[in-house]
Amino acid sequence: MSDLKATLVDNLNSKEAVIGIVGLGYVGLPLMLRYNDIGYRVLGFDIDQEKVDKLNNGKSYIEHIPSEKVSNATKRAFKATTDFQRIVEVDAVILCVPTPLNKYREPDMSFVINTTDAIKPYLREGQVVSLESTTYPGTTEEELLPRMQESGLVVGESVFLVYSPEREDPGNTNFETRTIPKVVGGDTPACREVGVALYAPAIDKVVPVTSTKVAEMTKLLENIHRAVNIGLVNEMKIVADRMCIDIFEVVDAAATKPFGFTPYYPGPGLGGHCIPIDPFYLTWKAREYGLHTRFIELSGEVNRAMPEYVVGKLMDGLNDQSKALKGSRILVLGIAYKKNVDDMRESPSVEILELIAAKGAEVAYSDPHVSIFPKMREHYFELASVELTAQSLASYDAVVLATDHDRFDFNLIKAHAPLIIDSRGIYRDAADHIIKA
């Protein structure tokens, strides 16, 4: 074992190492809290000064992460900064930055590349860099490796390079950062060894794999599996609806089989930063090898069409009441991408709002987790969440149940909304004013 590697591994095992986390969002912030909880000094980096100031003042900006936890972390040697020169102070650099798609549904690697370019002048011997952002196989080797070695550092000898995909699931109370197994791939065997030493103290189970490419492909397969199966059940929902069959009853019945079936439930489309986006990283990379990923592309087509399907059901329901969508008042219930969180990334509810507004309706929303519609890169409404009362519900021509938050009073909604478009299967019993979508 080289002296640099041995020293770094020892420092990581003894918690003498300083952990640097770049990107303090839904992935980086829980990871910071975990390392801080177990006794590491953590330095957080972000380009958003407002976010950095909030964290340094002990305040969280993510609903499911209490400010108390952030405040406790600041008392235990956590500091956030926008100064990337301070990378030189840390022993481990963990990159947790976004990897979205551009308007052509191709990987937008600008966050990863720009962040790597920002840290590379300050990298030094004896550091490990770990990329956690979901990306296509080959990213770590093709984009990070050459940049890290520009100044004469040698990956695997003087510095170490790892890919370890994030597996956060905001709002899932059954799992936390510590209990979700961590896949770790290194650019070299020495890099992998350092990567295991980095994560083993913080994560209950570390799963080493033979390369960064294997680790990158592992994360894509996890999310492709989910996207394809959701696409399948969304397509089955449309078929079942034509046959006057409740697809939710079908899935529940199929789920009683103790082997060979995993239940996936349909909805108004796909949301979140992973499932709607990550599969297309492999689609894009596969073209380099002359391959077409037909399952991925087909499931993407089905899932992207679901918001229009929901709006079509809304139009049918209004037509049955001799009303047009244009000029109607429509309330969308839930604009977060899934229940019980404030995360709106890629939320199909937002597309539903836009489709309804584009057809001339007056739109509003209610979401107990999102009080004001935030400014997003591609979407914006000047709206605030509507309080649900018997009077407010009755004042709309229809409500579209897009996200099934537990804090919604579904009995109140059922009793007072004139027309309900249910895209989540909340209302299983038949009612004249409820349309399953």
User: Catalytic residues, which ones?
Assistant: 274
Whether 308 contacts 355, CB under 8 Å: yes
Give the residue among 380, 354, 373 at the shortest CA–CA distance from 268. 354
Task: Record the tokens describing residue 178, joined without a space.
Answer: 């510590």
Give the residue among 329, 174, 306 at the shortest CA–CA distance from 231. 306
Starting from the edge strand earliest in sequence, which strands make up the sheet with 362-366, in order? 362-366, 329-333, 398-401, 420-422, 434-436
Phi, psi of 78 (to 5 degrees): -100, 135
Opening angle at CA 220, ends 110 and 251, nearest 5: 130
Q: How far is CA 124 from CA 68, 95, 208, in A?
A: 34, 16, 25
The Cα diameter of the chain in Å comes to 79
- State the alpha helices, DSSP H only, in 58-183: 67-75, 110-119, 139, 145-148
Task: Record the tokens describing residue 63, joined without a space.
Answer: 């609903």
Task: Record the tokens describing residue 398, joined without a space.
Answer: 């229809």
Task: Record the tokens describing residue 408, joined without a space.
Answer: 């919604």
Q: What is the 3-state secondary structure (H, E, C) of 112-133?
A: HHHHHHHHHHHCCCCCEEEECC
Task: Record the tokens describing residue 96, joined without a space.
Answer: 């947790």
**Residue 315 CA to its chain's centroid (Å):** 31
User: How far apart, in whole angstroms, are the C-alpha atoms of residue 208 and residue 214?
Assistant: 10
User: How far apart, in whole angstroms, are the C-alpha atoms of residue 344 and residue 46?
Assistant: 20
Residues in the chain: 437
Task: Record the tokens describing residue 149, joined without a space.
Answer: 């070695």
Phi, psi of 229 (to 5 degrees): -70, -35
User: How far apart, in whole angstroms, are the C-alpha atoms of residue 229 and residue 212?
Assistant: 26
**How many other C-beta atoms can be found within 10 angstroms of the C-beta atom of residue 289?**
6
